[in-house]
Structure 1
């Protein structure tokens, strides 16, 4: 299954009954904007899933700003959209793939590998002049049985145990200023997890917003040994998922997502915090 599919491919599969399209548009700080944009215009046949209402669980003392949803609850949501093991899910957004990658990772974690991201997302689709609609599709409910792949997920205790472990590399997916602790717009404490290296998630994309080719991604991550375990994180576990996908594209086999990410890490007062550069 190809993780990234072209707009041309999707254009020719809009009427395929085994393809289900999910609009994941969401704007941080403007929680209603994504669904409003979907109501105004979306890809033909697309359903909408909201980052905070659907693709995240309730916020508690720990778990970060976007905790993972309850597996049974999100499975029910998928069932109601007609997603089962036969369906190929195509996710898109207008946030450079971050929200779509969150859905991509969630489905992988739940054992559904037939999921791809639309290359270039909504912006590319519109640029190409491909069809859109305001009609919301009617779902044909089915059965979705989750089979959790725990090897894709890292929890806080595991991170704490593996700090500076020679076989594990932490990758911070936030921009350089947030990584270095110079600026923190989202969370109450600035900095990064000690030992983490910084690979800003948007660097896996071309300037036009499309995903870089495999050879480019291999070059981008060349300083990371492929025999090491790589654990990616960001602010809340969303924008780390493009890095997760890109590492997989580049041939890394042992990749995990710290789903709670920085916002979970700092919810434990005893966890150490680093600032400055550690990319050596």
Structure 2
């Protein structure tokens, strides 16, 4: 099954007991807005997970603006919400799926594959006049055991090695491809509103994450995405990053939908890379 589900698919399964719907709405710069929106109205039965409080750990000197949460802390939070290893999770937001994709990636990293993203998000659901409520469900705690998938993750050391090998005359042709998921202006270093330095990791190629979606917020078809990523070798190892490890996740989803299987997330992303003064920075096109 695809990693995304339609509004009508969810409507038909809205009250199935093995399912948990998760509201992931969050607005950068307005950290309370997502929870306030959830408390005002949400899809019936949905619980809320906050990007910064639940799906990230506290910011430190390194690790970027949204460091990955401690797996056991996240597992305990999921269990408290009644999410167990037998649960089917459907996540949504109102930010083109970027926060829902963060939860999708995190759950798979914890070893839980039965997770999906609602195409179009909350506004599209409401526009169809599908049910919404302000009632917050009472959830019976469950048990969530982790099975960490380390092959899904890349750290700054691996990215440095990749860049060092790429600069070497003896570089292997099988080096990982580094993808920057941010908008072209940020990748090129023409503007930067979120991080202290502008530019990109040297050698990275730019595939803006929103270009994987249609205007209605649904993902493009597998065939369209294959065409979008046509410049990439399907057998290549790919490391994906963005500003803080959030919008890289929808790009990872799109790459997998297009048939790429060796895809990893550089979780700290650009905001982690620039926290090391010795790391080089590139601008312009590659």
TM-score (norm 2): 0.96
CA-based RMSD: 0.8
Quote the offset at 1:83 in angstroms. Answer: 1.1
Q: Distance in 1 between matches of 2:217 and 2:5?
A: 14
Q: Report the counterpart of residue 204 of structure 1 in structure 2.
A: 212
Q: Report the counterpart of residue 148 of structure 1 in structure 2.
A: 148
The answer as to 2:10 corresponding to 1:3 is no
Q: Distance in 2 between matches of 1:193 and 1:106?
A: 24
The answer as to 2:196 corresponding to 1:188 is yes
Per the alignment, in what secondary structure is the counterpart of residue 244 of structure 2?
Answer: coil
Moved over 6 A (4+): none
Q: Distance in 1 between matches of 2:228 and 2:126?
A: 29
Unaligned runs of 5+ in 1: none
Q: Equivalent residues in 2 for 1:1-280 (5 A)? A: 1-163=1-163, 164=166, 166-167=173-174, 168-278=176-286
Quote the offset at 1:123 in angstroms. Answer: 1.7
Q: Distance in 2 between matches of 1:275 and 1:222?
A: 24
Quote the offset at 1:257 in angstroms. Answer: 0.3
Per the alignment, in what secondary structure is the counterpart of residue 112 of structure 1?
Answer: coil
Quote the offset at 1:2 in angstroms. Answer: 2.9
Unaligned runs of 5+ in 2: none
TM-score (norm 1): 0.98
